[in-house]
Chain A
Amino acid sequence: MGLPSLIFLCDSLAAALFAHYGISHVPVPVRDMLIDPPPELQRDLSLTEVSFGEAIWLRLLGGQGSIFANSDLPEPERRYHMACALFTALCATAGGRAAGLPPVPNDEMKAQMDLFARRLLMAPQLLPEGWQGMAPAGLAQLCGVPQVVAETHLAQNTGRRV
Protein backbone atom coordinates (compact mmCIF):
# COMPACT_ATOMS: atom_id res chain seq x y z
CA MET A 1 0.00 0.00 0.00
CA GLY A 2 1.25 3.51 -0.76
CA LEU A 3 1.88 6.26 1.71
CA PRO A 4 -1.03 8.31 3.01
CA SER A 5 -1.36 11.75 1.44
CA LEU A 6 0.26 14.68 3.14
CA ILE A 7 -3.00 16.53 3.53
CA PHE A 8 -4.52 13.54 5.30
CA LEU A 9 -1.59 13.39 7.71
CA CYS A 10 -1.78 17.15 8.28
CA ASP A 11 -5.50 16.98 9.00
CA SER A 12 -4.94 14.01 11.28
CA LEU A 13 -2.28 15.81 13.30
CA ALA A 14 -4.47 18.89 13.51
CA ALA A 15 -7.43 16.80 14.70
CA ALA A 16 -5.33 15.11 17.39
CA LEU A 17 -3.93 18.43 18.59
CA PHE A 18 -7.38 20.01 18.68
CA ALA A 19 -8.67 17.07 20.71
CA HIS A 20 -5.73 17.24 23.12
CA TYR A 21 -6.15 20.97 23.75
CA GLY A 22 -9.93 21.05 23.47
CA ILE A 23 -9.82 23.53 20.59
CA SER A 24 -13.12 24.16 18.88
CA HIS A 25 -12.65 27.51 17.20
CA VAL A 26 -10.05 29.77 15.66
CA PRO A 27 -7.63 31.35 16.39
CA VAL A 28 -5.68 28.19 17.14
CA PRO A 29 -3.37 28.81 20.13
CA VAL A 30 -0.20 27.60 18.43
CA ARG A 31 2.13 29.34 20.89
CA ASP A 32 0.43 27.58 23.81
CA MET A 33 0.93 24.26 22.02
CA LEU A 34 4.66 24.87 21.89
CA ILE A 35 4.91 26.08 25.48
CA ASP A 36 2.96 23.08 26.77
CA PRO A 37 3.25 20.28 24.20
CA PRO A 38 1.44 16.95 24.60
CA PRO A 39 3.40 14.73 27.03
CA GLU A 40 4.54 12.42 24.26
CA LEU A 41 6.15 15.32 22.40
CA GLN A 42 7.91 17.02 25.28
CA ARG A 43 11.34 15.82 24.13
CA ASP A 44 10.63 17.11 20.64
CA LEU A 45 8.97 20.42 21.31
CA SER A 46 9.47 23.52 23.37
CA LEU A 47 9.54 27.22 22.59
CA THR A 48 12.49 29.56 22.72
CA GLU A 49 11.68 33.15 21.87
CA VAL A 50 14.43 35.10 20.17
CA SER A 51 14.79 38.35 18.27
CA PHE A 52 16.00 37.20 14.89
CA GLY A 53 14.82 35.28 11.84
CA GLU A 54 11.35 33.78 11.58
CA ALA A 55 11.04 30.39 13.28
CA ILE A 56 13.29 27.38 13.17
CA TRP A 57 13.11 23.97 14.81
CA LEU A 58 16.35 22.58 16.20
CA ARG A 59 17.24 19.53 18.22
CA LEU A 60 19.79 20.63 20.79
CA LEU A 61 22.84 18.66 21.84
CA GLY A 62 21.06 17.07 24.77
CA GLY A 63 18.34 15.84 22.45
CA GLN A 64 15.65 18.35 23.39
CA GLY A 65 13.85 19.79 20.40
CA SER A 66 12.90 23.44 20.44
CA ILE A 67 11.36 25.99 18.14
CA PHE A 68 13.25 29.26 18.10
CA ALA A 69 10.68 31.86 17.12
CA ASN A 70 11.20 35.55 16.60
CA SER A 71 8.97 37.25 19.13
CA ASP A 72 9.45 40.60 17.41
CA LEU A 73 7.48 39.53 14.34
CA PRO A 74 3.91 40.72 13.98
CA GLU A 75 1.52 38.25 15.61
CA PRO A 76 0.07 36.76 12.38
CA GLU A 77 3.52 36.16 10.87
CA ARG A 78 4.85 34.73 14.12
CA ARG A 79 1.92 32.32 14.42
CA TYR A 80 2.30 31.17 10.83
CA HIS A 81 6.06 30.62 11.12
CA MET A 82 5.66 28.79 14.43
CA ALA A 83 3.15 26.46 12.78
CA CYS A 84 5.57 25.87 9.91
CA ALA A 85 8.36 25.04 12.35
CA LEU A 86 5.99 22.75 14.26
CA PHE A 87 5.58 20.73 11.08
CA THR A 88 9.35 20.32 10.83
CA ALA A 89 9.44 19.07 14.39
CA LEU A 90 6.63 16.59 13.79
CA CYS A 91 8.36 15.26 10.67
CA ALA A 92 11.41 14.45 12.79
CA THR A 93 9.54 12.45 15.44
CA ALA A 94 9.47 8.68 15.37
CA GLY A 95 5.74 8.82 14.72
CA GLY A 96 6.14 11.28 11.89
CA ARG A 97 8.68 9.07 10.20
CA ALA A 98 6.54 5.98 10.75
CA ALA A 99 3.51 7.68 9.23
CA GLY A 100 5.41 8.73 6.15
CA LEU A 101 5.78 12.43 6.84
CA PRO A 102 8.48 13.79 4.56
CA PRO A 103 12.14 13.74 5.49
CA VAL A 104 13.72 17.00 6.58
CA PRO A 105 14.86 18.75 4.51
CA ASN A 106 13.51 18.02 1.05
CA ASP A 107 12.92 20.06 -2.08
CA GLU A 108 9.20 20.57 -1.34
CA MET A 109 9.59 21.48 2.31
CA LYS A 110 8.36 25.04 2.02
CA ALA A 111 5.12 23.98 0.35
CA GLN A 112 4.66 21.12 2.82
CA MET A 113 5.11 23.43 5.82
CA ASP A 114 2.68 25.90 4.30
CA LEU A 115 0.08 23.19 3.82
CA PHE A 116 0.41 22.02 7.41
CA ALA A 117 0.30 25.56 8.79
CA ARG A 118 -2.84 26.38 6.84
CA ARG A 119 -4.59 23.11 7.74
CA LEU A 120 -3.77 23.76 11.41
CA LEU A 121 -4.46 27.49 11.67
CA MET A 122 -7.40 27.50 9.24
CA ALA A 123 -8.76 24.00 9.82
CA PRO A 124 -12.11 23.76 8.00
CA GLN A 125 -13.85 22.20 11.03
CA LEU A 126 -13.01 25.27 13.12
CA LEU A 127 -14.20 27.82 10.59
CA PRO A 128 -17.71 29.23 10.33
CA GLU A 129 -20.05 27.89 7.69
CA GLY A 130 -19.52 29.67 4.40
CA TRP A 131 -15.90 30.55 5.14
CA GLN A 132 -15.04 29.85 1.51
CA GLY A 133 -16.92 33.01 0.62
CA MET A 134 -15.06 35.22 3.04
CA ALA A 135 -12.71 37.97 1.92
CA PRO A 136 -9.03 37.11 2.48
CA ALA A 137 -8.56 39.97 4.93
CA GLY A 138 -11.50 38.80 7.04
CA LEU A 139 -10.37 35.20 7.06
CA ALA A 140 -6.83 36.26 7.92
CA GLN A 141 -8.04 38.36 10.83
CA LEU A 142 -10.35 35.63 12.09
CA CYS A 143 -7.58 33.02 12.05
CA GLY A 144 -4.66 35.24 13.04
CA VAL A 145 -2.59 34.59 9.95
CA PRO A 146 -1.00 36.83 7.31
CA GLN A 147 -3.40 37.85 4.56
CA VAL A 148 -1.31 36.18 1.88
CA VAL A 149 -1.69 32.86 3.72
CA ALA A 150 -5.46 33.26 3.81
CA GLU A 151 -5.42 34.11 0.11
CA THR A 152 -3.53 30.90 -0.64
CA HIS A 153 -5.92 28.89 1.50
CA LEU A 154 -8.97 30.30 -0.26
CA ALA A 155 -7.43 29.78 -3.69
CA GLN A 156 -6.44 26.18 -2.88
CA ASN A 157 -9.78 25.25 -1.38
CA THR A 158 -12.20 27.06 -3.60
CA GLY A 159 -10.33 27.42 -6.85
CA ARG A 160 -11.29 31.06 -6.94
CA ARG A 161 -8.77 33.79 -7.47
CA VAL A 162 -8.44 36.17 -4.57
Chain B
Amino acid sequence: MSIRGLNEVVGKAIISDSFRAGLLNGKRAEMLRLFEDKLDADEQQALLGIQAEAFSDFAAAIEQLIEQREGRRISLPAERLALPAVGWSNMVSNGAYSQRG
Protein backbone atom coordinates (compact mmCIF):
# COMPACT_ATOMS: atom_id res chain seq x y z
CA MET B 1 0.00 0.00 0.00
CA SER B 2 1.61 3.21 -1.13
CA ILE B 3 0.15 5.98 0.94
CA ARG B 4 2.58 8.36 -0.69
CA GLY B 5 1.40 7.36 -4.15
CA LEU B 6 -2.22 7.91 -3.21
CA ASN B 7 -1.33 11.26 -1.65
CA GLU B 8 0.46 12.20 -4.85
CA VAL B 9 -2.62 11.48 -6.95
CA VAL B 10 -4.69 13.81 -4.80
CA GLY B 11 -2.00 16.49 -4.67
CA LYS B 12 -1.40 16.36 -8.40
CA ALA B 13 -5.15 16.73 -8.95
CA ILE B 14 -5.25 19.83 -6.76
CA ILE B 15 -2.38 21.39 -8.66
CA SER B 16 -3.38 20.37 -12.19
CA ASP B 17 -6.80 21.29 -13.56
CA SER B 18 -6.46 18.93 -16.51
CA PHE B 19 -5.41 15.97 -14.36
CA ARG B 20 -8.28 16.62 -11.94
CA ALA B 21 -10.78 16.88 -14.78
CA GLY B 22 -9.48 13.66 -16.27
CA LEU B 23 -10.04 11.81 -13.01
CA LEU B 24 -13.70 12.77 -13.08
CA ASN B 25 -14.63 12.71 -16.76
CA GLY B 26 -13.99 9.16 -17.85
CA LYS B 27 -10.24 9.40 -18.39
CA ARG B 28 -9.35 8.17 -14.94
CA ALA B 29 -7.54 5.05 -16.14
CA GLU B 30 -5.46 7.18 -18.49
CA MET B 31 -4.62 9.61 -15.69
CA LEU B 32 -3.69 6.82 -13.30
CA ARG B 33 -1.27 5.36 -15.81
CA LEU B 34 0.96 8.32 -14.91
CA PHE B 35 1.26 6.71 -11.47
CA GLU B 36 1.83 3.14 -12.59
CA ASP B 37 5.16 3.01 -10.83
CA LYS B 38 3.74 4.38 -7.60
CA LEU B 39 0.45 2.50 -7.22
CA ASP B 40 0.04 -1.24 -7.22
CA ALA B 41 -2.68 -2.96 -9.23
CA ASP B 42 -5.01 -3.20 -6.23
CA GLU B 43 -4.74 0.49 -5.58
CA GLN B 44 -5.38 1.37 -9.19
CA GLN B 45 -8.45 -0.86 -9.21
CA ALA B 46 -9.69 0.74 -6.01
CA LEU B 47 -9.27 4.20 -7.47
CA LEU B 48 -11.02 3.19 -10.67
CA GLY B 49 -13.94 1.98 -8.59
CA ILE B 50 -14.55 5.23 -6.73
CA GLN B 51 -17.80 6.85 -7.72
CA ALA B 52 -17.57 10.58 -7.31
CA GLU B 53 -19.02 13.54 -9.13
CA ALA B 54 -17.03 16.11 -7.17
CA PHE B 55 -13.30 16.04 -6.66
CA SER B 56 -13.70 16.56 -2.91
CA ASP B 57 -15.71 13.32 -2.81
CA PHE B 58 -12.97 11.54 -4.75
CA ALA B 59 -10.29 12.83 -2.37
CA ALA B 60 -12.36 11.90 0.68
CA ALA B 61 -12.83 8.41 -0.72
CA ILE B 62 -9.06 8.01 -1.14
CA GLU B 63 -8.48 9.16 2.43
CA GLN B 64 -11.08 6.67 3.61
CA LEU B 65 -9.44 3.94 1.56
CA ILE B 66 -6.09 4.61 3.20
CA GLU B 67 -7.59 4.59 6.66
CA GLN B 68 -9.49 1.36 6.03
CA ARG B 69 -6.48 -0.46 4.64
CA GLU B 70 -4.11 0.81 7.25
CA GLY B 71 -6.60 0.24 10.01
CA ARG B 72 -5.63 3.44 11.65
CA ARG B 73 -6.04 7.15 11.45
CA ILE B 74 -3.48 8.92 9.34
CA SER B 75 -2.32 11.06 12.20
CA LEU B 76 -2.98 11.93 15.77
CA PRO B 77 -6.36 13.55 16.41
CA ALA B 78 -4.66 16.75 17.49
CA GLU B 79 -3.25 17.21 13.99
CA ARG B 80 -6.59 16.88 12.26
CA LEU B 81 -7.98 20.36 11.98
CA ALA B 82 -11.57 20.54 10.94
CA LEU B 83 -12.30 22.26 7.67
CA PRO B 84 -14.77 25.10 8.11
CA ALA B 85 -18.16 24.37 6.63
CA VAL B 86 -18.04 27.49 4.51
CA GLY B 87 -18.40 27.66 0.77
CA TRP B 88 -16.41 29.63 -1.73
CA SER B 89 -19.15 31.94 -2.81
CA ASN B 90 -17.75 35.16 -1.43
CA MET B 91 -15.63 37.66 -3.30
CA VAL B 92 -12.78 37.36 -0.85
CA SER B 93 -11.97 33.90 -2.11
CA ASN B 94 -9.79 35.00 -4.97
CA GLY B 95 -8.47 38.11 -3.38
CA ALA B 96 -5.72 39.08 -1.05
CA TYR B 97 -5.10 37.67 2.32
CA SER B 98 -2.52 38.62 4.88
CA GLN B 99 -1.08 35.64 6.65
CA ARG B 100 -0.40 37.63 9.77
CA GLY B 101 -3.01 37.17 12.42
Using known A-B contacts A12-B8, A13-B14, A98-B56, determine if residue A105 contacts B100 with beta carbons closer than 8 Å: no
- A2 CB contacts on chain B under 8 angstroms: 60
Question: Which of these binds chain A: B25-33, B40-48, B79-87?
Answer: B79-87
Please report the total number of B residues contacting A with Cβ < 8 Å: 50
Do A3 and B56 touch (CB < 8 A)? Answer: yes
Proximity bits, A1-36, B CB within 8 Å = 1, else 0: 111111111011111110110000000000000000
Interface residues of B in 16-70 (CB under 8 A from A): 16-18, 20, 52, 54-57, 59-64, 66
Does B101 reach chain A (CB closer than 8 Å)? yes
**What is the CB-to-nearest-CB distance from B43 to chain A, in angstroms, rounded to a whole number?**
14
Complex: A41 Cα to B15 Cα, angstroms: 7
- B61 CB contacts on chain A under 8 angstroms: 1
Complex: A17 Cα to B12 Cα, angstroms: 8
Does A140 reach chain B (CB closer than 8 Å)? no
Do A100 and B97 touch (CB < 8 A)? Answer: no
Complex: A110 Cα to B14 Cα, angstroms: 21
- A115 CB contacts on chain B under 8 angstroms: 79, 81
A-B residue pairs in contact (CB < 8 Å), sample of 10 = A4-B56, A12-B9, A14-B11, A16-B7, A16-B8, A54-B100, A104-B93, A111-B81, A112-B81, A159-B78
Q: Interface on B for A, CB 8 Å cutoff? A: 4, 7-18, 20, 52, 54-57, 59-64, 66, 74-76, 78-84, 86-88, 90, 92-101
